[in-house]
Structure 1
Amino acid sequence: MIITDITTFPLRIPFAPGTDSADAAWGPKGLKAVDSLLVRVTTDEGAVGWGESFGFIGAPITGEAVEAAVAPACVGQDPLRIAPLMHDVQRQLHVFGRAGPLMHGLSAVDIALWDIAGKAAGMPVHQLLGGGRSADLPCYASLDAYADPDLVRAAVRRAIDSGFVGVKLHEKEFREISAARDEAGPEAALMVDVNCAWTPHEASAIAEKVRPLGLTWLEEPVWPPENFAGLAQVRSAGVPVAAGENVSTQLGFQRLLESSAVDFVQPSPAKAGGVTELSKVFTLAALHNTPVMPHTFYDGPGLLAALHASAVLATPETMIEWRYFDLEAQIYGDALTVRDGRIRVPQGPGLGLDPDPDVISAYLIR
């Protein structure tokens, strides 16, 4: 079996009628739709695997990276030799950077190869990884950015009433964070992701202010994200810190963990190297007694990759991030949902689900 084709599918799915996005931290103000990038790998024997890269405004750049660099390095190779192929492609392309679009694109291809491997073996990816211990996993709702206490309260209430075990905000002001805690109550897990907003000094001061709110974690409080010493400084203020979505490769995570910078580490399978690197990070984090909270702010194969790896390797603290957006359509339709705060790990071969072809056709950016 050899890889014969790698094709990208950029999707743009609008928010459902009657909903609107505020000033999103990860995209332009007034975001009206969400861009995703799916990647399909096909073999000479007709096997098909699906992967996903982190999307939003970076989707076109990553698509170009896949088509110009990653795909030519993979076509003609054995799709079942995943680890050596990914190692060889990383070495071949390292001169262009070890993070960003090339690694995001490589992540998508890696996920697709695991999908093919599972389908070829007739078993789900979690069995290839050693056998899943969990049929389902707890989920928290990862909210849009609202910058309005009333909108935050409404979103938090809806998520809690829907059964989510916790809520993550993308807010930077104390009034919104405090409103969320008031609405969620003292027992619910409450996380805040500020997307690398502050200097270590600013972040430490804000950490002191929010400490009485009992956050489960403060996520990526420091700019730049590779300032691990700055993260450690914020952590010393007494608020748990989480980071890692902007780290790639095993060595990057080793440096993060050795810096004692985080209470929770957040590898992103659609950014950091796919299932192959995600599995390594779980093992590395266990050696540092640090729980893994996969970054999965996407809805497609990247999310499934995290589910399968977590089913095998997660600790009891691990929660799955569910992007709590009101989109017109979901990549898997109704086949992947959260019920009573938990998400089932697909049990079919490979990732267990293929993207809905009608959704791809309707929302493909042509």
Structure 2
Amino acid sequence: MKIASIETIPLRIPFTAGGRSDEAVWGKAGLQAVDSLVVKVTTDTGLVGWGETFGFTVVPAAKLVIDTILAPEIVGRDAAVLDRLMVDMQKKFHVFGRSGAFIYGLSAIDIALWDIAGKASGKPVHELLGGSAATSLRCYASLIRYSEPELVRENVQRAVADGFRHLKLHEVDVDCVRAAREAAGDDVEITLDVNCPWSVREALDMAQKLRPFNLRWLEEPVWPPENYKGLARVRQEGGIPVAAGENASTLMDFQHLLEAGAVDFVQPSPAKMGGLTELKKVFALADAHNVTVMVHTFYDGPGLLASVHASAALGGPRALVEWRYFDLEAQLYGDAIIPKHGAITVPRGTGLGLDPDEDVIRTYRFK
């Protein structure tokens, strides 16, 4: 079974989010549309697999890498020899860097090939990863950054009313976090992702201010994100569990992160760090370090499905799935994957279990 073609499909889907978004690492202030890059891999037997890279402003670079570097090298290779293919690509193109657009693109292709592997074997991906009896997984609603306490309050209340008992904020202001806790009450779990803004000293000072709000974790508080020693210090002295890993790339980064004792929760991002082939290794590595994996999934397409399958098979009862709490104008999978009462369905079909709606692709594809 040979890889016959690899097609990159950029999508731009408008969204609302209960108020005007503030500027954040994924986009400008007032962002009103989500850009994503979906990848379609077709074999010479006619099987089709779908993958996804991290999106937003990275889409043009990842598309260029796939179209001009990865696809010409991978087309014609055996789709079934997945682990070997991924190692070969990392070795051959390591001079392009071990993160960023190159690994993002390779991640999307890897996810698509796992989709193909499941379809070829007649099994869902979670069975290929070891199996799962779970029919659904708990989700946390991952809110945008509002930077206005009243908008935070309104949207926390909206998420709780939608059935979510776990929330993630992307705020960097203490008053916004206070508003979230007041709106959610004491029984709703809140996590806080600040996207690497602070020095170690600043992070420790902020942790002291944030402790009264009973956060489940403080995510990526330190700049730069690879300052694992500094992150470990925040974990040891800050009084709040620490999470990180969405900016780590490949297994070696995660080994360094875990060896530093930097996190309570590690967050590999399948569409950024090598796909399911690398992700499954991180679960084993984290288990050896007694650290919980919470897969980072700021996606709506195949990257989200990959996270669901991996979390179902490898995450255990504590696994949570990140649900990007945007009101998208259209969903790639219709209503099939939208959480109900704070839980997301584990697809039971072959491969990733769902294929994107071709009408949505035609309508929202852009050049």
Q: TM-score with structure 1 length normalisation?
A: 0.98
CA distance in 2, matches of 1:345, 1:307: 6
Q: Which 10-residue stretch deviates more, 229-238 or 5-14? A: 229-238
The one-letter code sitting in structure 2 at the alignment partner of 1:307 is: V
Task: State yes or no: 1:312 paired with 2:321.
Answer: no
Deviation at 1:318, TM superposition (A): 1.7
* Aligned position for 1:341: 342
Q: Would you say the 8 A contact 1:291–1:315 is kept in 2? A: no
CA distance in 2, matches of 1:124, 1:299: 19
Give the unaligned 5+ runs of structure 1: none
CA distance in 2, matches of 1:173, 1:22: 12
Q: Would you say the 8 A contact 2:312–2:319 is kept in 1? A: no
CA distance in 2, matches of 1:67, 1:165: 41
* Aligned position for 2:249: 248
The one-letter code sitting in structure 2 at the alignment partner of 1:363 is: Y
CA distance in 2, matches of 1:181, 1:18: 18
Superposition pairs of residues 233-272 of structure 1, within 5 angstroms: 233-236=233-236, 237-272=238-273
* Aligned position for 1:350: 351
* Aligned position for 1:110: 110
* Aligned position for 1:72: 72
Task: State yes or no: 1:200 paired with 2:200.
Answer: yes
Q: Would you say the 8 A contact 2:268–2:296 is kept in 1? A: yes
The one-letter code sitting in structure 1 at the alignment partner of 2:139 is: C
Q: What SS class does the counterpart of residue 339 from structure 1 fall into?
A: coil
CA separation of 1:17/1:265 partners in 2, compared to 1, >3 Å: closer, same or farther?
closer
* Aligned position for 2:293: 292
Q: What SS class does the counterpart of residue 276 from structure 2 fall into?
A: helix
Task: State yes or no: 1:145 paired with 2:137.
Answer: no
Q: Would you say the 8 A contact 2:17–2:326 is kept in 1? A: no
Q: What SS class does the counterpart of residue 118 from structure 2 fall into?
A: helix
The one-letter code sitting in structure 1 at the alignment partner of 2:278 is: E
* Aligned position for 2:179: 179
The one-letter code sitting in structure 2 at the alignment partner of 1:132 is: S
CA distance in 2, matches of 1:133, 1:105: 31
The one-letter code sitting in structure 2 at the alignment partner of 1:41 is: V
Deviation at 1:16, TM superposition (A): 4.5
Deviation at 1:24, TM superposition (A): 3.1
Deviation at 1:281, TM superposition (A): 0.6
Q: Which 10-residue stretch deviates more, 141-150 or 324-333? A: 324-333
CA separation of 1:126/1:17 partners in 2, compared to 1, >3 Å: closer, same or farther?
closer
The one-letter code sitting in structure 1 at the alignment partner of 2:64 is: E
The one-letter code sitting in structure 2 at the alignment partner of 1:92 is: K
Q: Would you say the 8 A contact 2:122–2:351 is kept in 1? A: yes
* Aligned position for 2:101: 101
Deviation at 1:329, TM superposition (A): 0.9
Q: How many residues align?
A: 366
* Aligned position for 1:3: 3
CA separation of 1:186/1:18 partners in 2, compared to 1, >3 Å: closer, same or farther?
closer
Q: Hey, which bits of structure 1, 4+ residues long, moved more than 2 A?
A: 16-25
Deviation at 1:316, TM superposition (A): 2.5
Deviations 1:20-52 (A, max 9, x none): 433233211221211000000011111100000
Q: What SS class does the counterpart of residue 11 from structure 1 fall into?
A: strand
The one-letter code sitting in structure 2 at the alignment partner of 1:322 is: W
Deviation at 1:18, TM superposition (A): 8.1
Q: Root-mean-square deviation (CA), in Å? A: 1.2
Q: Would you say the 8 A contact 1:36–1:53 is kept in 2? A: yes
Q: Would you say the 8 A contact 1:25–1:145 is kept in 2? A: no
Identity across matched positions, percent: 59
* Aligned position for 1:170: 170
Deviation at 1:164, TM superposition (A): 1.2
The one-letter code sitting in structure 2 at the alignment partner of 1:351 is: L
Deviation at 1:79, TM superposition (A): 0.6
CA distance in 1, matches of 2:219, 2:317: 20
Deviations 1:57-88 (A, max 9, x none): 11111010111111122110011111111111
Q: What SS class does the counterpart of residue 51 from structure 2 fall into?
A: strand
* Aligned position for 1:282: 283
Q: Would you say the 8 A contact 2:18–2:151 is kept in 1? A: no
CA distance in 2, matches of 1:248, 1:182: 36
CA distance in 2, matches of 1:365, 1:172: 33
Deviations 1:155-200 (A, max 9, x none): 1011111111211011000000011011111121101111101111
CA distance in 2, matches of 1:144, 1:315: 27
Deviations 1:251-281 (A, max 9, x none): 1101100101001000000001101111111
Q: Would you say the 8 A contact 1:24–1:30 is kept in 2? A: no
CA distance in 1, matches of 2:363, 2:16: 14
